[in-house]
Amino acid sequence: MINDILPIYQLSLCQKLLLQATLLQGERAMQAWDCWQSLIDIENLDPSSNVLLPQLYKNLLIHDVKHPYMARLKGIYRRNWYANQLRLKDLKIILSYLKDDEIDVIILGKASFGSYPIENCRSIDSFRLLVQEKYLERANQKLTAVNWQEDDPTPKTLIHLQGHLFWAIPQDHIDNLVWHNATPDWSDRLGWRLSVTDQFLDSCTRTFFKGHSQQIYGIADVMILIQNSSNDIDWMRLVSQAQRYQMILPVRNMLIILQNILKPSVPNWVLPALWQMPIAHAEWLSYKILADDKRSFWQSIYAHSVRPLNYFGTKLRELKQTPFPGRQVLKSLLKVR
Amino acid sequence: MEKPQVFRVNSPQVVSETIDGEVVIVNLDKGYYYSLLKTGAYIWSGIERHLDRDSIVVELTRTYLGNVEEISTAINDFLDELQREEIIVLTTELISEHPNEIVEMGEKQLFEKPILEKFTDMEDLLLLDPIHEVDVDSGWPNVKTA
């Protein structure tokens, strides 16, 4: 019941084991795999775990695992690879259209991992594209002109076009920073890629944002960033930007989970620094908290206890904008008289 | 004297990946999906290394046990089929600098005719649940038989 009021992020034992079997190497990965496959029935997996199966297959292959599940896991990988190739082809066409109009695009989300070993391990079901705010309308018109309709009731692939990635004042400066740190190296310079630090922040916020259903692939994404690009992560900047953009809670959550389950190499000072930072009211309202984080739990309860007052205020303002029905009733009464 | 025939993958409309000894290929223009195993995958590696037609034949006859003429015919037929499917095209620009690198396979295996497995009804196959509706022993895109 409390989860309905206060979304809590909690991983099951099987999900933890799956993350370990997917992302770790050597004996730890194999122990996790043995345990996971003995606990689960592959035909009844939770949707969140299903997303990791192509990447699990790749890791099991490296470890030369022989198991009756391997054929189906390989099939899942093949299906994912095939579907992704078709989607990436569409994405390249979209990027070419926009590039012809001198609109640069940063590719976000699942399609952004072009050069990482997980390129074909996430199912690219939609495109998240960041363009500069001043080009947003033009990009929208350009895509509409090539049959990407805003109100298409049965879209095969969705495009989420956005002008901002992080929010803070002054917004122009924040947007410029994102572009300044990005690199134009997505698929033969067709598109841009976020800096690893910004990608880290983005994955954290999307993993713990309250409006999203619980997913575990965000944890895997961040782990892969740490494993493959640890030298490119600017930890100082990550912490300071988390504070500036009011994203301390999701980054802290992510690092706690990673530390508990996967034990990546993260500078010792990062997590204590995040614990010392005050968290804004809006953060408690926007992001999920970890089930075993008692301190955050009470803070979040407090934030929620204040929220109904704000909601009441909003409703009152809405009422002011609509005609007061009582007057109509009064008029009809007067007419009758 | 005839010029050596060298092939290249018909990219960018054709993309491929090798997974656990199997080559999976997609023709992005047509949406067709292909799979190569064993000798087919070996020949594919020769194409990727820009070996000419004759060098591929020589390499496989050295690697596999079998009648040279039969191996040669099977490989030539296979290369022709890949061309017909527009998966590979002839090129004049690429010639291998290291022809006939024999891949160590231990004891010589018997030559099996290369097979190009082709799937065209991809819209239906993409709708298949890859866990419940596929053959347990071979996985997607092989449909579970009743």
Q: Is pLDDT of A327 > 50?
A: no
Domain-embedded: residue B28: yes
Number of domains in chain B: 1
Centre a 10 Å sphere on the Cβ of residue A256 and count the other Cβ atoms it contains: 17
Min distance A157 CA to chain B CA atoms (Å) = 14
- Domain assignment present for residue B37? The answer is yes
Q: Is the pLDDT of residue A155 over 80?
A: no
CA pair distance A158, A149, nearest whole angstrom: 10
CATH code of residue B72: 3.90.930
Residue A56 touches partner B, C-beta closer than 8 Å:
no
List Cβ neighbours of A48 (8 Å cut-off, separation of 6 or more): A15, A213, A214, A215, A216, A217
SS3 A3: helix
Which range has the worst mean pLDDT, A23-37, A63-77, A259-273, B81-95? B81-95
Q: Which residue of B has its CA nearest to A92?
A: B12
Strand order in the sheet with A158-162: A158-162, A126-130, A106-108, A191-193, A183-186
Chain A neighbors of B15, CB-CB under 8 A: 85
Residue A310 has pLDDT above 70, yes or no: no
> Does any domain span residue B129?
no
Whether A295 has a pLDDT exceeding 90, the answer reads: no
Q: Which residue of A has its CA nearest to B137?
A: A71
Q: Which residue in chain A is spatially nearest to B130 when comparing CA positions? A: A76
pLDDT for A322 equals 34
Kindly give, in sequence order, each residue whose CB lies less than 8 Å from that of residue B39, ignoring residues fewer than 6 positions away.
B60, B64, B74, B111, B112, B113, B114
In the predicted structure, residue A97 carries a pLDDT above the cut 80: yes
Best CA proximity match to B117, nearest among B86, B90, B81, B89: B81
Judge whether B83 lies within some domain: yes
In a domain, B142, yes or no: no
Question: In A290-313, which positions are buried (b, 16+ CB within 10 angstroms) versus exposed (e)?
Answer: beebeebbebbeebeeeeeeeeee
Q: What is the interface pTM, i.e. ipTM, of the complex? A: 0.91
Looking at residue A313, its pLDDT comes to: 40
Residue A189 has pLDDT above 90, yes or no: no
Position A315 scores a pLDDT of 39
Q: Is the residue at B138 inside a domain?
A: no
Summarize the confidence of residues A302-314 as an average pLDDT: 58
At residue A308, does pLDDT exceed 60? no
**What is the pLDDT, as a whole number, of residue B63?**
93
- In terms of residue numbers, what domain contains B100? 6-121
Smallest CA–CA distance from B119 into chain A, residue: A82
What is the residue-averaged pLDDT of chain A? 86
The answer, for A73 touching chain B at a CB cutoff of 8 Å, is: yes
Residue B141 maps to a domain: no
Nearest to A43 among B31, B125, B131 (CB): B131
State the best of A46, A74, A120, A156 to mutate against chain B, taking most chain B CBs within 10 Å: A74
Shortest Cα distance, chain B CAs vs residue A72, angstroms:
4
Q: Which pLDDT value is given to residue A326?
A: 40
pLDDT tens for chain B, 146 residues: list them.
677 899 999 999 999 999 999 999 999 999 999 999 999 999 999 999 999 999 999 999 999 999 999 999 999 999 999 999 999 999 987 666 555 555 555 678 899 999 999 999 988 898 889 999 999 999 999 998 87
- Amino acid (one-letter) located at B20: D
Residues of A in contact with B134 (CB under 8 A): 72, 75
How many other CB atoms are found less than 10 A from the CB of residue B19?
16
Q: How confident is the model at residue B101, as a pLDDT? A: 58
Whether the per-residue pLDDT at A43 is higher than 60: the answer is yes
- Read off the pLDDT of residues A198-226 as tens digits, 9 standing for 90 and up: 999 999 999 999 887 888 999 999 999 99
- The answer to whether B36 and B44 have CB atoms below 8 angstroms apart is yes
B42 inside domain? yes
CA separation for the pair B138, B116 (Å, rounded) = 16
Lowest mean pLDDT among A69-78, A117-126, A194-203, A235-244: A117-126
CA distance B132 to chain A (A): 7
